[in-house]
Amino acid sequence: MIWMAVCPCTLSAQYTVAWDATIGGERYEELNGLLVVPDGIVIGGSTQSNLTFGDPADFSWNILLQKTDFDGNLIWEAHFGGDQDERLWMLIPTSDGGLLCGGYSYSGVSGDKTEPSRGDMDVWILRLDETGALLWDKAFGGAGRDELFSALEMPDGGFLLGCHSDSGAGGDKTEPSRGGQDFWLIRTAADGSLIWDKTLGGDNYDQVQDLLWAPDGNILISGGTFSSPGSGEIAQDSARGGLDFWLGLFDPDARQLLWNHRYGGDNEDFPYALTLSGSGKIYLGGRSASDTAQPTVFNNGKNTPKYGGYSDFWLLELDLNGWKTNEWSFGGSGLDDLYFIQENKRGELVLGGVSDSGVSGNKTAVPRGGFDFWVVTLAPQTGIVRGQSAFGGSGNDAPTRIAMLPDGAFVMGGHSDSGIGFEKSAASFGVNDFWVLTTECDLQVNIGEPALSCEEQMLSLTAVSPACDSCLYFWSNGHASATLEVPAGTNGTFSVMAIDLLGCMAADTMVVEATNALAFDLGPPDTLIQAGAQISLGGGAPGWQYQWNTGSTSDQIVVSEPGLYSVTVTGEGGCTAVDQILVRVLNRKSVYVPNVFTPNDDGWHDVVGIQTGEGVRMVRHFSIYDRWGELCYRRQQFNFADEFEGWDGRYRGLRLSPGVFTWVALVEYTDDTVELLTGTITLLR
């Protein structure tokens, strides 16, 4: 059965539970597989509640799988087994959208198991399609105990299985045991058939845990070892205590170890988690019951403190050759075992495991019941702990898996015997149930509406996440800040991802379309108008916006005063244009020529000439012509400060008869303009 509820509770400053689900029957369930796939969550483990899941007459352990959507609603359920115990320890997605799961089996041919038992306990794998339907199953083993813990899909569609075995040569095992229990690798074809196997180990107990692709195409293998240094394939690194972390790099083509190292203190240390960061660091973590140990040349000892309980989280940072570059331990006064490591999109590590410590040591999360889920978020670059959270009910709750949802929230799974209380929203169905919970992410980011990229203007795109001062922003072109400068005239689609301190993610996309520059022209840059006259500036297309240096926002302004006038015009798409014009005013009243004169030698209006004011720098020439175009008078290069001089009505010494004469003047003003002026003069006697 499955019971799911939305939980409104806030766990700490870091995480809020979105929903939790209790999955179980009348007896035992243990969750050991959890995957996020494109359309939901796959939950896997083992069940003895066969009255609820499977055959009511079957009291053995069987494999149980459920798929839910991202809100926890059941999509399908499947269970598999034979007539004896089968347990699930491994669950991975396959490239065709299906699944590979497995662990061990004691059954012969019965139920869903189609191959006979090889011996005491066999490796058992099941290939499923995307609906959970069984495609095929395979068993591998020798005469002893053979158990599967991890797997990788290979480039050819086959699989590499990470197992441990105490079998000698025989059955599917082609090499003798190195000691009490060895690492055992099995290579299969895409249909599950055996291609080769490889035994690795020392003279004592060696147990595999995880397989992981290395950047160079080889495979990292983690586990624990009791074996003596230099025995079998175990390297000469000094043994540190009873049980040590072990890590090796394996070449699947040559079928040999390239290097291997061990890490530990003076007591029991075992790694449950292995991950490779985006920066190329290996993170190996698990439980440690050791005190601080003296460093060696290889520095594989435990150099962090023990916090007083049975065991602590112990996290190692290693380079790609397995050399330790950093380490951390987290724990309190009880038992603290690290079971999983997940890197979030900020490049920070989310560490999760089981804890029954109170607030003590460096544990600050308040406990719930007996054992709880304990999550620590660590920034490994700085060693800063972003926060801690405890999840659980009033009983015992042990996490085993964690995965990341598409929005950066986490889904965590384990097993629980708790009833309703704290973060657990449903009662237990039996002795022990699957328990799954997800954290809440409600981050939002917005760039804005589609924009035009103007031909001559840089475009700024700004991502905004409300109430997220600490968000990181990553654009699709690799830029990392809230604002992206887009070159002028760019066509394209730009996406941004925002990531908050919890690792929650939100994305938005902006389409940018290039457009031609805005065309706008106020006219000639230098314009002369007459004093008292007006000129209209501006005009453009409907929908444009205007900002004049006069403060006006009208599309046109009327001016009559001299000055520099500028305007910024914004088109409907946001493109802008700037233009300016210099307006100068000509004061014509500063030039005067009388239109009548009477040259009678009576002392009144006997001569006629051009008179100028302060706006005139110079009269380049002043000429008077009769009606036949004969030049009667000329004066050149003079100004208003010169003594007045004019025409006395004579031509070649003779008095001219009354009539109308034409004058022409070329005037240079103090504003550097030059003007040609004309008019008429009437001569009276």
Q: pLDDT-based confidence at 12, cuts 50/70/90?
A: very low
Specify the pairing of strand 324-330 against strand 312-318: antiparallel
Q: What string of H, E and C letters represents the secondary structure of 53-87?
A: CCCCCCCCCEEEEEEECCCCCEEEEEEECCCCCEE
Q: Which residues of 259-274 are buried (b: 16+ CB within 10 A; e: fewer)?
A: ebbbbbbbbbbbbbbb
What's the CA gap between 566 and 521, in Å, rounded? 11
* Residue after which a domain boundary falls, among 535, 551, 586: 586
User: Which positions ≥6 away from 425 have C-beta within 8 Å?
Assistant: 5, 6, 7, 20, 22
CATH of the domain at 628: 2.60.40.3080
Cα dihedral 114, 115, 119, 125 sign: negative
Do 506 and 569 belong together in one domain?
no
Do 484 and 555 belong together in one domain?
no
Residue 11 clears pLDDT 60, i.e. is over it: no
Within-domain flag for 32? no
Query: In the chain, how many domains are there?
Result: 3
Within-domain flag for 444? no
In sequence order, the β-bridge partners of residue 563 are 583
CA angle (530, 534, 537) in 5-degree steps: 120
Nearest to residue 433, comparing CAs of 423, 424, 444, 442? 424
* Residue after which a domain boundary falls, among 515, 542, 557: 515
Residue 643 clears pLDDT 80, i.e. is over it: no
Do 596 and 678 belong together in one domain?
yes
Do 606 and 674 belong together in one domain?
yes
- DSSP letter (8 states) at residue 644: P
User: Which positions ≥6 away from 533 have C-beta within 8 Å?
Assistant: 560, 585
Residue 560, CA distances (Å) to 50, 156, 286, 537 in order: 97, 84, 85, 11
Query: Which DSSP string do the residues of 432-490 spell out, in sequence order?
Result: BEEEEEEE------B--S-EEEETTS-EEEE-B-TT-TT-EEEETTS--SSEEEEPTT-
User: Which positions ≥6 away from 659 have C-beta within 8 Å?
Assistant: 626, 627, 682, 683
Cα dihedral 615, 620, 625, 630 in deg (nearest 10) = 180
Within-domain flag for 503? yes
Residue 61 clears pLDDT 80, i.e. is over it: yes
Do 616 and 659 belong together in one domain?
yes
Q: Where are the beta strands (DSSP E) in 289-396?
A: 312-318, 324-330, 336-343, 349-355, 372-379, 384-391
Average pLDDT value for residue range 438-448: 93
Average pLDDT value for residue range 600-626: 87
Do 593 and 668 belong together in one domain?
yes
Q: For position 179, what pLDDT does the model report?
A: 87
Do 619 and 658 belong together in one domain?
yes
Burial category of 469 from C-beta neighbours within 10 Å (exposed 0-12, middle 13-18, buried 19 and up): exposed
Cα dihedral 93, 98, 104, 108 in deg (nearest 10) = -170
User: Which positions ≥6 away from 442 have C-beta within 8 Å?
Assistant: 504
Do 673 and 593 belong together in one domain?
yes
Within-domain flag for 639? yes
Specify the pairing of strand 451-454 against strand 505-515: parallel
Within-domain flag for 643? yes
Average pLDDT value for residue range 269-281: 96
Residue 355 clears pLDDT 80, i.e. is over it: yes
- DSSP letter (8 states) at residue 517: P
CATH of the domain at 554: 2.60.40.10
What's the CA gap between 50 and 87, in Å, rounded? 14
Q: For position 287, what pLDDT does the model report?
A: 96
Place of tokens 């019951």: 289
What's the CA gap between 600 and 606, in Å, rounded? 6
Q: What is the CA radius of gyration of the chain?
A: 45
Residue 177 clears pLDDT 90, i.e. is over it: yes
Residue 4 clears pLDDT 80, i.e. is over it: no
Do 678 and 624 belong together in one domain?
yes
Q: For position 8, what pLDDT does the model report?
A: 35
Q: For position 604, what pLDDT does the model report?
A: 83
Q: For position 605, what pLDDT does the model report?
A: 85
pLDDT digits 0-9 by tens, 106-116: 999 999 999 99
What's the CA gap between 177 and 197, in Å, rounded? 13
* Counts for the chain of helices (H) and strands (E), in that order: 0, 50
Q: What are phi and psi for residue 589, nearest 5 degrees?
A: -65, -10
Q: pLDDT-based confidence at 246, cuts 50/70/90?
A: very high
Average pLDDT value for residue range 156-167: 97
Query: Which DSSP string do the residues of 253-274 spell out, in sequence order?
Result: TTTEEEEEEEEB-SSBEEEEEE
* Residue after which a domain boundary falls, among 468, 491, 515: 515
Q: pLDDT-based confidence at 247, cuts 50/70/90?
A: very high
Percent of the chain with pLDDT over 90: 70
What's the CA gap between 206 and 228, in Å, rounded? 11
User: Which positions ≥6 away from 585 have C-beta within 8 Å?
Assistant: 528, 529, 530, 531, 533, 560, 561, 562
Q: For position 295, what pLDDT does the model report?
A: 65
Residue 7 clears pLDDT 50, i.e. is over it: no
Q: For position 1, what pLDDT does the model report?
A: 53
User: Which positions ≥6 away from 667 have C-beta within 8 Å?
Assistant: 591, 612, 616, 618, 619, 620, 674, 675, 676, 677
Q: pLDDT-based confidence at 671, cuts 50/70/90?
A: confident
For residue 600, the enclosing domain spans 589-683
What's the CA gap between 400 and 398, in Å, rounded? 7
Among 173-187, 406-420, 588-602, which is the least confidently predicted range?
A: 588-602
Q: For position 238, what pLDDT does the model report?
A: 72
Within-domain flag for 536? yes
Describe the strand order of the beta sheet including 40-47 as a list of residue ranges.
29-37, 40-47, 62-68, 74-80
155 CB neighbour count, 10 Å cutoff: 8
Within-domain flag for 331? no
Q: Find out whether 519 and 527 touch, Cβ atoms under 8 Å.
A: no
Q: Find out whether 24 and 432 touch, Cβ atoms under 8 Å.
A: yes
Within-domain flag for 430? no
Q: For position 320, what pLDDT does the model report?
A: 97
What's the CA gap between 196 and 172, in Å, rounded? 9
Q: Find out whether 409 and 439 touch, Cβ atoms under 8 Å.
A: yes
152 CB neighbour count, 10 Å cutoff: 17
pLDDT digits 0-9 by tens, 344-353: 989 999 999 9
Do 599 and 615 belong together in one domain?
yes
CA angle (279, 343, 183) in 5-degree steps: 90
Do 496 and 542 belong together in one domain?
no
Cα dihedral 633, 639, 645, 646 sign: positive
Do 509 and 533 belong together in one domain?
no
Look at 489 and 383; give whichever has higher pLDDT. Answer: 383
Judged by DSSP in three states, 38 sits in: coil
Average pLDDT value for residue range 454-473: 87
- DSSP letter (8 states) at residue 590: G
As a whole number, the mean pLDDT across the chain is 91
Q: For position 588, what pLDDT does the model report?
A: 57
Residue 379 clears pLDDT 60, i.e. is over it: yes
Judged by DSSP in three states, 399 sits in: strand
Average pLDDT value for residue range 143-158: 97
Q: pLDDT-based confidence at 44, cuts 50/70/90?
A: very high
Q: For position 9, what pLDDT does the model report?
A: 39
Q: pLDDT-based confidence at 458, cuts 50/70/90?
A: confident
Average pLDDT value for residue range 517-544: 80
What's the CA gap between 608 and 595, in Å, rounded? 9
Residue 5 clears pLDDT 50, i.e. is over it: no
Q: pLDDT-based confidence at 82, cuts 50/70/90?
A: very high
Q: For position 13, what pLDDT does the model report?
A: 44
Average pLDDT value for residue range 170-195: 96
